[in-house]
Amino acid sequence: MGRMEAQGLFMKTIIISIGDEVTSGHTLNTNASWIAQNLEQAGVTPERVVTMRDDIPALVEELRQDTRRYNLILVTGGLGPTHDDVTKPALVKAFRAPLVRDEKVRRQVRSFFKKIDRPMAPVNEGQADVPKGFTPLSNAIGTAPGLMLTSGRYTLVAMPGVPSEMRHIMERHIIPMAKKMAGGAVLLRATLRTAGIGESTLATSLTEKGVAMPPGVSLAYLPHFGQVDLRLTVTGKDRRKAQAVLNKAAREIENAVGEFIYGKECQTLEEAVGEILTRKKITIASAESCTGGLFASRVTAVPGASAYFMAGVVAYSNLSKQKLAGVKTETLVRHGAVSAEVAKELAEGIRKATGADIGISSTGVAGPTGGTKEKPVGLIYIGMAHANGMETVKLNLGMDRARNQGRTANDMLVWLWRTARDWPGDSL
């Protein structure tokens, strides 16, 4: 666990987000994640994010605690002109800093309203009041300036909660400062994205193959919906050395479990599939029953999908399975719509109808109704057809409808990725 040793290099940083709309879950805290990601690139890693309600005494207590524990305290929200804006009153109280009217800020607020051609409400005059000892940070795109207090031990910055204004103040004032304070410390990350293998099997596999992270490198398993991302983090003072350490660790993992790695960084599975299909000039078509178009919509979410995705059908009714994908009546009668045989005919049928290289299909009981003892909710067949034949895979999911459909579309993509990866004709 390299992280623990390296932590001392960094400023101890906390982000505080103020607002009932955030604690109540009605607004996602995207401000905190933007700040964290941008600070990290500057070499500063936040240790903690606190989201609080619009509550002055609670904020006063939090600020007093944090000034003893952190070197950089970033507050967002609660800086507007209305009654539920609690940050400035809390600063006044926590730091015994009475408000002083700042003429420069007053002129800026006035000129802002002039610029956007709106009358300035009297309530906005108060935005020029700055707690004594605080430095106002200019906000060119809104009315509330940032407020900064620096002591020997810590820097505290309060910013508006409006994302664009917060970002403006961060980019103009805080990130340059953080870079200096971080003093050349670097934190580098790499993400290897896997599919078709579970978190624990992956961990066991790496251990069995003797892959261990050297000091200074940490490895995190980030599972999400049938896939696991492996995220490597390296911290250090020398960017080059850190990069070399990171590359070496990534290579070791790739050597051990490379067959499950479909992409890097933020590449999606459908993008990885699209890249291979384009490169190898493979075309595909889909015939979906229980996934209802979800597979096609994920494939066509990728720009340029028209190069390899010929067409899809959502063959929901039996009649449409016959008419649009050429499934035989006899097969439907003998095996039922949810069967390996129908999955095969759907895949082969759409392949023939469109002339694609690969046909891929789904049929199953997505639920919550429609299950029987022999064919319960979550029983799903996926099929694939190409020049060398037809295959099917049986899934037993047994989750709710959304997850049965989502997981099946994902498994279809994983299967397609493997098939395309092993397809002849790579001209790399």
The token pair that represents 288 in the structure block: 């979906």
Cα gap 45→53, rounded to integer Å: 24
Considering the complex, what minimum distance in angstroms separates the CB of residue 133 from a copy of itself?
A: 27
The token pair that represents 346 in the structure block: 């759907």
> Do residues 73 and 150 touch, judged by C-beta distance below 8 A?
no
Which CB sits closer to a copy of itself, 144 or 152?
144
Which CB sits closer to a copy of itself, 68 or 152?
68
Which CB sits closer to a copy of itself, 138 or 151?
138
Considering the complex, what minimum distance in angstroms separates the CB of residue 395 from a copy of itself?
A: 9
Which CB sits closer to a copy of itself, 292 or 336?
292
> Do residues 74 and 137 touch, judged by C-beta distance below 8 A?
no
Considering the complex, what minimum distance in angstroms separates the CB of residue 386 from a copy of itself?
A: 18
Cα gap 199→230, rounded to integer Å: 9
Considering the complex, what minimum distance in angstroms separates the CB of residue 152 from a copy of itself?
A: 24
Largest CA distance in the chain: 86
Which CB sits closer to a copy of itself, 201 or 372?
201
Which CB sits closer to a copy of itself, 125 or 254?
125
Which CB sits closer to a copy of itself, 118 or 153?
118
DSSP string, 69-117: H-SEEEEES--SSSTT--HHHHHHHHTT--EEE-HHHHHHHHHHHHHTT
- Decide the pairing of beta strands 135-137 and 146-150: antiparallel
> Do residues 163 and 31 touch, judged by C-beta distance below 8 A?
yes
Considering the complex, what minimum distance in angstroms separates the CB of residue 79 from a copy of itself?
A: 12
Of all helices (H) and strands (E), which one includes residue 260?
A: none
Which CB sits closer to a copy of itself, 34 or 423?
34
Considering the complex, what minimum distance in angstroms separates the CB of residue 389 from a copy of itself?
A: 24
**If we measure between CA atoms, which residue out of 63, 72, 67, 52 comes closest to residue 161?**
52
Which CB sits closer to a copy of itself, 54 or 252?
54
**If we measure between CA atoms, which residue out of 386, 387, 376 comes closest to residue 415?**
386
Considering the complex, what minimum distance in angstroms separates the CB of residue 192 from a copy of itself?
A: 14
CA-to-CA separations, 382 to 164, 342, 365, 402, in angstroms, rounded:
45, 10, 12, 17
In eight-state DSSP terms, residue 286 is E
Which CB sits closer to a copy of itself, 36 or 177?
36
Cα gap 46→39, rounded to integer Å: 8
Considering the complex, what minimum distance in angstroms separates the CB of residue 417 from a copy of itself?
A: 18
Considering the complex, what minimum distance in angstroms separates the CB of residue 159 from a copy of itself?
A: 15
Considering the complex, what minimum distance in angstroms separates the CB of residue 14 from a copy of itself?
A: 10
Q: Is 22 helix (H, G, I), strand (E, B) or coil?
A: helix
**If we measure between CA atoms, which residue out of 401, 395, 396 comes closest to residue 369?**
401
Q: Which residue has the tokens 């619009």?
A: 54
